[in-house]
Structure 1
Amino acid sequence: MKIVIIDYGAGNIQSIKFAIERLGFTATLSDNPEEIRNADKVIFPGVGEASSAMRKLKESGLDSLIPELQQPVLGICLGMQLMCNYSEEGDTEGLKIFDVDVVRFRESVKIPQIQWNSITSLKGPLFENVENNEFIYMVHSYYAPVTDETIAVCEYGIPYGAAFAKANFYGTQFHPEKSSSTGAQILKNFLEL
């Protein structure tokens, strides 16, 4: 199986690569459109600020490639947020895969949210063999509200979307690569889709 982690200068790609290797798979880091298009599975990571990350995607033409991909694609953290319609962070137009806007936490909560949090309302194959209320690792100041495409929910002042799915696209606000055995199971489920 050919797994490609999109390397566009805005991701914690090494920790994702190591997490995949711990599961017995090999992943390639690439920004080459042909290599990404020919992968069996694509992981779209992201750490940092939305507008500068989107600028990097546009410079490489990946902003038009990603929404056209036919194989399973997993967006992680900022990668998931960039798959949404729009982000308040940097007034950023997204890839419009998930039909939701990303907004800043306005509740009286400490931001960024940097903590272990539990996920509930799990739906679909990404959460096979994962129980409600298992813990995952979160680091973010912006969130996507719960919609029809939400497949997991977190609570931080308010309930919000912890994961999304639409057709062959999946996204997690949390970092599965940093979420211990629960995260490893979710990554494994994605790779076995």
Structure 2
Amino acid sequence: MYCEKLLKVKNNKDSSKFLIDSLIIHKLDDYLKNYITLRERRNINPVKFAIEKQIQYKTAMMLFVIGSRESLFRMRLFFECNCGEHIELETTKDKIMCECGLIGEYQELKDSIKLYFELLEKPIKCEWDVDINGETDFLNEFDIAKYDNSFSSIEKVGDPGLIKSIDSLCLLNIRNDTMKEYLDSEGF
């Protein structure tokens, strides 16, 4: 399923709009197999991927969003409080509450909400031809400070559907998890 899901990402109707082609898929495949640990596969930072694999920021972000739509990844949202607490969020719609007493809304705290992706499939060897001669714009070391994986930074990507996609995928994850728990409890 891993290879099939990579191909679904490449063939997704939105992929060409964000320059996601065979070369980008090859770089993602290589990154997932060779650049991150098993533990890091639970919290993949798309910005780190963009920098390490020299891919445009917008392309990398949308690669992971589309990968979530195709069930290759699951989005994970974390609020990083000033007190040092990290709280996983179910959605961007709820109030954010920390043990230190901080209470806020997404719009107020979006600089402290980080987006990560969990790989849902075990990477395996895929057989396909890749044209690796294409050129790609990339982020260099000086760009690292400009980009992060906070919601305020993601909004700068400029695609109005991106945040909407993130919200719907978060709600979809909640619904799927709830349905799975219900089915498991009923013995299905």
Give the TM-score range, shorter chain: under 0.3
Higher helix residue share: 2
Normalising to structure 1: TM-score of the pair? 0.26
Which of structures 1 and 2 has the bigger CA Rg? 2
Q: Larger strand proportion, structure 1 or 2? A: 1
TM-score (norm 2): 0.26
